[in-house]
């Protein structure tokens, strides 16, 4: 990626002239900004305010990982997810990561590594995700919030072999998007450690290997 200059920013910058709150929810809020574009036009921008969240890659020595399975009402579907949770007011991301891992999975970790930040919905939200690698895991008791329903699984990568071909294709696309985002963050100085890139490349190779093996059998 090229180095970002002041001239590059000036060519696309939007200047905010007014902000109004259009929705106040229990968790999310929606603001509407009036902005002047770099070409002098006045436009309206609506977006969701989000406190940010910490995401944990909980990795065991045998390369199995902790995954959560829970229902997501906006999509009306259950998803496999990494342990994660939103930041409380004035809470550090590292503190949030430790808290969420123990609350949702019951595990504590002896070793923590900060992997970097992504802005995952830049077109309509200021939400950001802080990624951490957790190792040296020790099992304990979960402390779920009232009404929170999720299941925790420790899965080896061999589970990939049990996916359908459609699920494998979707997984490959997801991993490629993740790799692109990781490379972008590394190039722009937002990713402090390349370990997540190596892990993502390895997972892509494994999924590709399984897809090709199935194609040869067909």
| pLDDT of 5 above 90 | yes
For residue 7, the number of C-alpha atoms closer than 13 Å in the C-beta half-sphere is 2
When pLDDT is cut at 50, 70 and 90, the band that residue 143 belongs to is confident
Phi, psi angle pair for 169, to nearest 5°:
-60, -45
When pLDDT is cut at 50, 70 and 90, the band that residue 212 belongs to is confident
**Residues 130, 50: Cα–Cα separation, whole Å:** 13
Strand duo 42-49 + 77-81: pairing:
unpaired
**Long-range contacts, stretch 22-29, CB < 8 angstroms, 24+ apart:** 22/46, 27/86
The domain limits of the chain are: 6-49, 51-155, 157-218
| pLDDT of 12 above 80 | yes
Looking at the DSSP bridge assignments, the partners of residue 138 are 108
Note the pLDDT of residue 157: 55
| pLDDT of 208 above 90 | no
Convert the pLDDT of each residue in 80-92 to its tens digit. Answer: 888 999 999 999 9
**Residues 37, 33: Cα–Cα separation, whole Å:** 12
CATH class of 51-155: alpha beta
| pLDDT of 154 above 60 | yes
Helix (H) or strand (E) holding 96: helix 93-105
**Residues 81, 197: Cα–Cα separation, whole Å:** 19
Q: Are 53 and 25 spatial neighbours (Cβ–Cβ below 8 Å)?
A: no
Contacts of 167 (CB under 8 A, 6+ apart): none
| pLDDT of 144 above 80 | yes
Mean pLDDT lowest among 50-64, 115-129, 194-208: 194-208
Per CATH, domain 157-218 is 3.40.470.10: no
pLDDT, mean of residues 131-153: 89
**Residues 109, 127: Cα–Cα separation, whole Å:** 26
Which carries the bigger pLDDT value, residue 79 or residue 138?
138
């Amino acid at each position: 990626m090229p180095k970002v200059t002041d001239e590059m920013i000036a060519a696309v910058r939007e200047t905010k002239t007014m902000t109004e709150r259009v929705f106040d929810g229990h968790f999310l809020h929606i603001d509407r900004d009036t902005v002047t574009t770099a070409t002098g036009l006045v436009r309206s921008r609506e977006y969701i305010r989000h406190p940010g969240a910490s995401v944990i890659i909980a990795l065991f020595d045998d390369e199995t990982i902790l995954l959560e399975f829970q229902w997501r009402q906006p999509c009306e579907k259950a998803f496999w997810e990494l342990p994660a949770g939103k930041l409380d007011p004035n809470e550090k991301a590292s503190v949030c990561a430790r808290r969420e891992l123990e609350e949702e999975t019951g595990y504590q970790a002896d070793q923590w590594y900060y992997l970097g930040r992504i802005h995952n919905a830049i077109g309509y939200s200021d939400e950001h995700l802080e990624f951490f690698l957790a190792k040296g895991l020790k099992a304990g008791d979960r402390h779920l919030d009232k009404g929170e329903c999720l299941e925790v699984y420790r899965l080896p990568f061999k589970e990939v072999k049990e996916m359908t071909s459609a699920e494998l294709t979707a997984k490959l696309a997801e991993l490629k998007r993740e790799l692109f985002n990781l490379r972008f963050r590394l190039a722009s100085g937002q990713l402090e450690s390349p370990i997540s890139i190596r892990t993502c490349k390895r997972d892509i190779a494994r999924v590709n290997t399984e897809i090709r093996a199935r194609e040869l059998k067909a």
